[in-house]
A = this chain, B = another copy of it.
Amino acid sequence: MVVNQMPIIDPKNFISSKARSIGAGSNVESGFYNWTLPTEIENPITLSAGIPDAGSMPVQDLQNALNSVLETFRNESLRYGGVQGFLGLRTALANKYTLAENHEYNSEQFLIANGSAGCIDLICDAFIEPEDIVLVEGPTFSGSNRTILGHQAEIIQIPLDDHGIQMDEIIRIVRKLQNQGKRIKMLYTVCDFQNPTGTVLSAARRSELIDFCRSHQILILEDSAYSDIYFTSPPPPSLFSMARGYGVLRVGTFSKIIATGLRIGWIQGQRDFINVITQVKFDMGNSPLIQRALAAYMETGKLNIHLDTVRTIYHQKCQMLSDTLTKHCSEYFRFSEPRGGFYLWIECLQGFHASEIRELASSKGILFPLGSSFFLNGDKDDDKHLRLAFSNASITDLASVGPGLESVCKELIM
């Protein structure tokens, strides 16, 4: 048979440089870095992924909204919803931000995609070329690193301190790159309750950062995933509102404030930026049914009530984790208690290797990722941090983290 002698099509001969840029074995290989080591303990305490408290999810309200939308908009909710997303949801988002930031926004500034991850992918599609330089916080959300690297950009990490990304470091690095004749295209920042460190960029640095980026023609990508999840008082005004949207693209998501499985995020930007992004959106949009249900849910005012509830929940959880670690592990760990978000960022003292702690903790049924997952070069950059996500664990589980990790550290010292 002639057919059998023909060469098989081997994907290796077809793979794009985009796909190759996310290489096997890299720290951002799968987008779902192996944060959870295997454990033999039955019901382990899981402090891994940044997912909402399961009990808090407004399942009944979402279900009611879905049913009402399907009954009222039988056809429209099951038909193509348009590339920019359902107008009603974009209007609800514009209203939300207008109210929160005391500045008039409109639906034309918004575009809906698959979560903020999908939004960041689209922004890279529209504005990032191979070899462009993108500045990110070091450490930062590994999924965003993966997306940016997937667009073949060069990532440079800027260190953080307790007040967020360090301006003097940005200035130094940008100057150095410009001396080399290189252009910096974009800066990606999670300035509110950052993932993984929990830090908030100070108000002073925010205006400095905007001025600096504008004068150096660096586009700012502001990831607001956690902005609404403050414990007692909101973070400083967003970069987007301070800059009146000029030179800033903001991405937001329902993943952290309602449920990660909604897969609905949004980009907010000046109309001319949104226009460019629609040029590279080829997937005909995502589910108008879910977009309509979320709009209906928001229009009832229930989102605001829900946000108050979850702020209290995460504040309590954070407090519990923080208290138990302070009580049991303060000789071993240092951390700043965050004022919002999902994460406690732990620095291991006494020369502990984070990887050793994680391994032993896993064997005892406490699961969490290494801090190195959030650095570009993984454990080459860092083996002294841990990220503990308190958002999805129960209060009871969180209470036992202190004693658990205390015994881990004691065992490692012996």
Chain A interface (Cβ < 8 Å from any Cβ of B)? 2-3, 6-11, 13-19, 22, 30-32, 49, 51, 54, 57, 59, 62-63, 66-67, 70-71, 74-83, 113-115, 117-118, 120-121, 125-129, 143, 146-147, 150, 185, 211, 214-215, 217, 219, 246-247, 259-263, 270, 272-273, 275-290
Contacts and interface: CB of A to CB of B under 8 A. Distances in A.
A8 B280 CA distance: 23
Contact of A77 (B76, B261, B277, B286): B261
A261 B113 contact: no
27 contacts: A3-B214, A6-B215, A9-B247, A10-B272, A11-B270, A14-B127, A14-B276, A16-B126, A19-B127, A30-B83, A49-B80, A51-B79, A51-B80, A59-B70, A67-B67, A78-B260, A79-B259, A79-B261, A113-B283, A114-B285, A115-B283, A117-B283, A147-B282, A261-B287, A263-B283, A263-B287, A286-B286
A33 to B, nearest CB: 12
A9 B78 contact: no
Given A126-B16, A127-B15, A282 B117 contact: yes
B284 A286 contact: no
Contact of A262 (B32, B57, B63, B287): B287
Contact of A57 (B75, B185, B263, B279): B75
A4 to B, nearest CB: 10
Given A49-B80, A261-B77, A211 B6 contact: yes
Given A114-B285, A125-B19, A185-B14, A63 B59 contact: no
Given A3-B214, A11-B275, A16-B129, 11 more contacts: A13-B217, A14-B127, A16-B125, A49-B80, A57-B75, A59-B78, A114-B285, A261-B287, A263-B286, A287-B287, A289-B290
Contact of A118 (B3, B79, B259, B283): B283
Contacts of A259: 78-79
Report copies per complex.
2
Nearest to A211: B3
A273 B11 contact: yes
A283 B114 contact: yes
Contact of A126 (B19, B80, B217, B289): B19
B16 A127 contact: yes
Given A51-B80, A261-B289, A262-B287, A219 B14 contact: yes
Given A67-B67, A217-B13, A287-B263, A280 B79 contact: no
Contacts of A263: 81, 283-288
A11 B67 CA distance: 41
A247 B8 contact: yes
B284 A31 contact: yes
